[in-house]
Structure 1
Amino acid sequence: MSEEDADGDEPNDRDGDRDLERVVAEVRAQVTPDADERVRLREVADRLMERAERAATERCDGADVLQVGSTARDTWISGDRDIDIFVRFPPELDRESLEEYGLEVGHATLPEGHEEYAEHPYVKGEVEGFDIDVVPCFRLESATEIRSAVDRTPFHTQYLQRRLDDDLADDVRVTKQFLKGIGVYGSDLRTRGFSGYLTELLVVEYGGFRPLLEAAADWHPQVAIDPEGHARARETERRAAGDAASQFDDPLVVIDPTDPERNVAAVCSRENVARFQHYAREILDAPRLECFEPDDHEPLTDSELRDHLERRGTTPVAVRFDAPDLVEDQLYPQLRKSLEGITRGLDDRGFDVFRATAIADDSAVIVAELAVSERPEVERHGGPPVHVRDHAEGFYDAYADDADAYGPFIEGDRYVTEREREFTTAREFLESDRLFDVGLGAHVETALEDGYDVLLDEEITTLLAEFGPELAAYFDPRP
């Protein structure tokens, strides 16, 4: 490289650094709560914590109250309105009493609240615009002693409070907004992305937003991060026992520093880990605010959808039914299982699924684009090599007297027959009882038994009224 080239590169690098610093500074100013917002949250949280503690200690000696989550760790984003109050009960209390006392404390804290259920019931409500959860758990010495998933949460808060300073907390906020902007923030089973706790661990591990981006840009899954060295110690134990198998097989593994048996990133899908990598490279190469702003698609119009169908030359087919009455964390795994089963059923019958998706609102729909929507009346069925005598004779005898089959005949060294195809169109298959043999989610199967519609080709335009934005996203795919 000439001296002129070298001199030309250096200012560009500095310009890129300044551009990223400028963008991050602007985002930080947007997502950092101001003094008034902090005061309002603190007043509400303190008042409710006092109310919860009084109700808890009246019912159980040794109970206490702890604020957890991002508002406790000062990593919350301006505009967020979540206050999580955990009521901790002594470990000798039985589960039934914990649930009973927990609900009583929840209702005493939130008289207008309502009950919801995770691993056990808790009370949720709204106070002065803040969303409040009052959750009972056991007060334990170690997260390895947990009796339910919520028992870990106080340990997460304590661990991070010791490691987050003001600068890292600022970078956590920026990172969360970045993950929201690219659509991968949230550990719910619809999103399958990065939880708040995971985000904080990654920022602490790498030392900030930019170092995290630079590291993620070069990740090669499986990425293993072990803040407290738990996995190394366990691997040594396994090797000593003659078992060197990895404990986890997820693309991103972040060993919970409070519980060595748990991968904090287990819910992250491969797509979302790859998406994070893609946009980490994007923003390092070309810093811009758009990466921090969620891309909400405008609903697709009827004419736009017809244009896509004509341009693509595929045949879309959809199965529409009433969405099962489930919370999203139960619904979406069942939709994905059903999507996999239906697309496999179409592929197995020669209809060649090009791409597919599942969407839900009041209705649910599984949409598949087919490269082939009609098949011949006959299909080939290959048999075993003739020299494999027992199997070959069995195959030959099964079709030799079948008047509806062509053959058997020999191709190469194998028997082949051409037999009547069960379904010649995708619609026939989807409207048949064989749809229920593909491996559907249990509640989806029940919903389909109650009735469903099959939409083919331009009939899917009827989905636009309910799923216009989702179909816009489907026909405008981005990383």
Structure 2
Amino acid sequence: MSEDEADRDDSEPDETNAGDDFETVVSQVHDRVDPDEDERTRLREVAATLTERAETAATELCADADVIQVGSTARNTWISGDRDIDVFVRFPPELDRETLEQYGLEVGHATLPDGHEEYAEHPYVKGEVEGFDVDVVPCFRLESATEIRSAVDRTPFHTRYLEQRLDDELADDVRLTKQFLKGIGAYGSDLRTRGFSGYLTELLVVEYGGFRPLLEAAADWQPPVELDPEDHGRARETASPSRNEAVGDADLPFTDPLVVIDPTDPERNVAAVCSAANVARFQHYARAFLEEPSVDFFEPDDPDALTAAELHEHLERRDTTPVAVRFDSPDLVDDQLYPQLQKSLEGIANGLDDRGFDVFRATAFADDTAVVFAELAVSERPAVERHRGPPVHVRSHAEGFYEAYADDPDVYGPFVVEDRYVAEREREFTTARAFLESDRLFDVGLGAHVETALEDGYEVLVGTEVTALLPEFGIPLAEYFDPRP
């Protein structure tokens, strides 16, 4: 999306034309995102075959087992071209966890002979059948979502709840909303994106009654936004983000910018993973789209990779100093890697700030290697730094401070400024590079696996040296130097 489309003027739109444009755009997007009858029929046939295979294998192992299809393809909210089929194998709650996992894998391999095992909260089988990506996941068959033993146990309750509330028109609007969120980069509950999940999107469309009412409401949201579809009354009174009595927060209210109480589990915020930035991003583009509808909002606008000449032009124009810490990316899935990268980014940025290098902006990205990238307003500091002591009248502390520095030949002072002792002492690091290349880097808060990777070796790039990042990270750097809402 161009800047012209994102940054509108404040003039009043022509409501008649805007309405016509809205319906025209929506119709065009529907033509692209709504599966046609052939696609629907093909999916139903493949899903029925997979369900039958899974049922046969499951009931041979456990007579009380059953199989259901869940997710967007089960709820008729999938976008044309999406090829995901989620088959859940439900076992009675009397089964122990170890047996459930064993039976689940056996059923998965019987259903997907060429599939492979993957691991989330417990193992499951993933594979491809006639062009469809298929997950066969075991779970417990429970009476209530509040009895869950693992996160996947909730999913059948979500499917049942929405099947009873989604008609064809709302399902169409869910598809529109999902594609809109994809277009603006806010769709996905993975911990790299921290956006809107499919289930959250469906609940919002149902709650507000469609795509347009949702956009109109979001345009005026005042976070924290609190929605409680089933009136559990838990948004601020007793709802808990963690349901963890051991740490003493089981009765605390949610503190997220968007709170949508799970209709099937009143102690869960469906929007807990959604970042404040993505809530704000949705608001921005809701306003922009309502003001001037365009199909461009529904298409991700990935930039071209930044060139060396463009990078040098940005650096010269901005007159800042970029620094990068680059290391081999830990062998983790994104949902484990990105929280650790974020923690490490915050630790390194704070370490630079604490030493006077004034972080202007910072980010992190990963591929084969991982990078913590910061832009500094100050890259070099004087050889001395001022250390303020306690007020002179606080005798015990003041005397201790004075005695610590009084006989040090490398210290200027102590002397008095206003009512305090002050000493000017040698600065530990005069350049950001010196700090980043020192062992003191490991004193900041780092993710555990990131710290291990850094111990194995890393490189520090400063100034135009960051050009070396372009072959691997040209697109993330293009996004960094052309930021948009």
Equivalent-residue separation in structure 1 for 2:449 and 2:193 (angstroms): 20
Equivalent-residue separation in structure 2 for 1:438 and 1:126 (angstroms): 44
Aligned residue identity for 2:43: L
Aligned residue identity for 2:455: E
* Cα displacement (A) at 1:234: 8.2
Runs of 4+, deviation exceeding 6 Å: none
For 1:164-214, what per-residue CA distance to the aligned partner results, in whole angstroms no more than 9, with x for missing partners?
000000000000000000000000000000000000000000000000000
Report what 1:358 is aligned to.
Answer: 364
Equivalent-residue separation in structure 2 for 1:274 and 1:161 (angstroms): 29
For 1:221-249, what per-residue CA distance to the aligned partner results, in whole angstroms no more than 9, with x for missing partners?
110000001125983899xxxx9975200
Give the counterpart of 2:115 among 106, 113, 116.
Answer: 113
The alignment partner of 2:233 has SS state of helix
Report what 2:390 is aligned to.
Answer: 384
* Cα displacement (A) at 1:462: 0.6
Q: 2:142·2:148 contact (CA, 8 Å) conserved in 1?
A: yes
RMSD of aligned Cα (Å):
1.7
Q: Does 1:199 align with 2:201?
A: yes
Report what 2:456 is aligned to.
Answer: 450
Give the counterpart of 2:373 among 352, 363, 367.
Answer: 367
The alignment partner of 2:272 has SS state of coil
For 1:355-401, what per-residue CA distance to the aligned partner results, in whole angstroms no more than 9, with x for missing partners?
00001000000110000000000000001111111111111111111
Report what 2:275 is aligned to.
Answer: 269
Report what 1:155 is aligned to.
Answer: 157
Q: Does 1:38 align with 2:40?
A: yes
Equivalent-residue separation in structure 1 for 2:365 and 2:21 (angstroms): 38
* Cα displacement (A) at 1:18: 1.1
For 1:435-473, what per-residue CA distance to the aligned partner results, in whole angstroms no more than 9, with x for missing partners?
000010000000000000000000000100000011000
Report what 1:61 is aligned to.
Answer: 63
Distance 1:233 1:364, change over 3 A: closer
For 1:9-33, what per-residue CA distance to the aligned partner results, in whole angstroms no more than 9, with x for missing partners?
9992111111111111111111000
Give the counterpart of 2:231 among 229, 239, 243.
Answer: 229
Equivalent-residue separation in structure 2 for 1:22 and 1:342 (angstroms): 49
Q: How do residues 166-185 of structure 1 correspond to structure 2 at under 5 angstroms? A: 166-185=168-187
Equivalent-residue separation in structure 1 for 2:84 and 2:273 (angstroms): 22
Report what 2:218 is aligned to.
Answer: 216
* Cα displacement (A) at 1:78: 0.2
Aligned residue identity for 2:182: K
Q: Does 1:253 align with 2:288?
A: no
* Cα displacement (A) at 1:68: 0.1
Aligned residue identity for 2:106: E
Equivalent-residue separation in structure 1 for 2:443 and 2:46 (angstroms): 53
Report what 2:132 is aligned to.
Answer: 130
Report what 2:245 is aligned to.
Answer: none
* Cα displacement (A) at 1:61: 1.6
Distance 1:245 1:51, change over 3 A: closer
Distance 1:16 1:358, change over 3 A: same
Report what 1:3 is aligned to.
Answer: none
Distance 1:233 1:300, change over 3 A: closer
Q: Note the residue ranges of structure 2 that are not aligned, 5 or more in a row.
A: 1-10, 241-248
Equivalent-residue separation in structure 2 for 1:86 and 1:237 (angstroms): 28
Equivalent-residue separation in structure 2 for 1:333 and 1:42 (angstroms): 37
Report what 1:4 is aligned to.
Answer: none
% identity of equivalent residues? 79
Aligned residue identity for 1:16: A
Q: 1:320·1:366 contact (CA, 8 Å) conserved in 2?
A: yes
Q: Does 1:331 align with 2:331?
A: no
For 1:301-333, what per-residue CA distance to the aligned partner results, in whole angstroms no more than 9, with x for missing partners?
110000000000000000000000000000000
TM-score when normalising by structure 2: 0.94
Aligned residue identity for 2:451: E
Equivalent-residue separation in structure 2 for 1:206 and 1:35 (angstroms): 28
Q: Does 1:425 align with 2:395?
A: no
* Cα displacement (A) at 1:250: 0.2
Give the counterpart of 2:146 among 132, 144, 147.
Answer: 144
Distance 1:122 1:315, change over 3 A: same
Distance 1:270 1:236, change over 3 A: closer
Aligned residue identity for 2:293: P
The alignment partner of 2:80 has SS state of coil
Aligned residue identity for 2:472: E
Distance 1:436 1:206, change over 3 A: same
Equivalent-residue separation in structure 2 for 1:216 and 1:334 (angstroms): 31
Report what 1:460 is aligned to.
Answer: 466
For 1:118-167, what per-residue CA distance to the aligned partner results, in whole angstroms no more than 9, with x for missing partners?
11000000011100000000000000000000000000000000000000
Report what 1:5 is aligned to.
Answer: none
Distance 1:370 1:111, change over 3 A: same
Equivalent-residue separation in structure 1 for 2:451 and 2:107 (angstroms): 39
For 1:398-442, what per-residue CA distance to the aligned partner results, in whole angstroms no more than 9, with x for missing partners?
111111000000000011000000000000000000000001000
Equivalent-residue separation in structure 1 for 2:238 and 2:476 (angstroms): 48
Equivalent-residue separation in structure 2 for 1:141 and 1:97 (angstroms): 20
Equivalent-residue separation in structure 1 for 2:266 and 2:187 (angstroms): 24
Q: Does 1:413 align with 2:415?
A: no
Aligned residue identity for 1:203: V
Report what 1:18 is aligned to.
Answer: 20
The alignment partner of 1:324 has SS state of coil
Instruction: Count residues in correspondence.
Output: 467
TM-score when normalising by structure 1: 0.96
Q: 1:115·1:121 contact (CA, 8 Å) conserved in 2?
A: yes
Q: Does 1:81 align with 2:87?
A: no
Equivalent-residue separation in structure 1 for 2:119 and 2:234 (angstroms): 36
Q: Does 1:294 align with 2:300?
A: yes
The alignment partner of 1:261 has SS state of strand
Aligned residue identity for 1:277: Q
Q: Does 1:311 align with 2:345?
A: no
Equivalent-residue separation in structure 1 for 2:222 and 2:235 (angstroms): 23
Give the counterpart of 1:469 among 472, 475, 485.
Answer: 475
Equivalent-residue separation in structure 1 for 2:444 and 2:223 (angstroms): 31
Q: 1:235·1:244 contact (CA, 8 Å) conserved in 2?
A: no
Report what 1:91 is aligned to.
Answer: 93
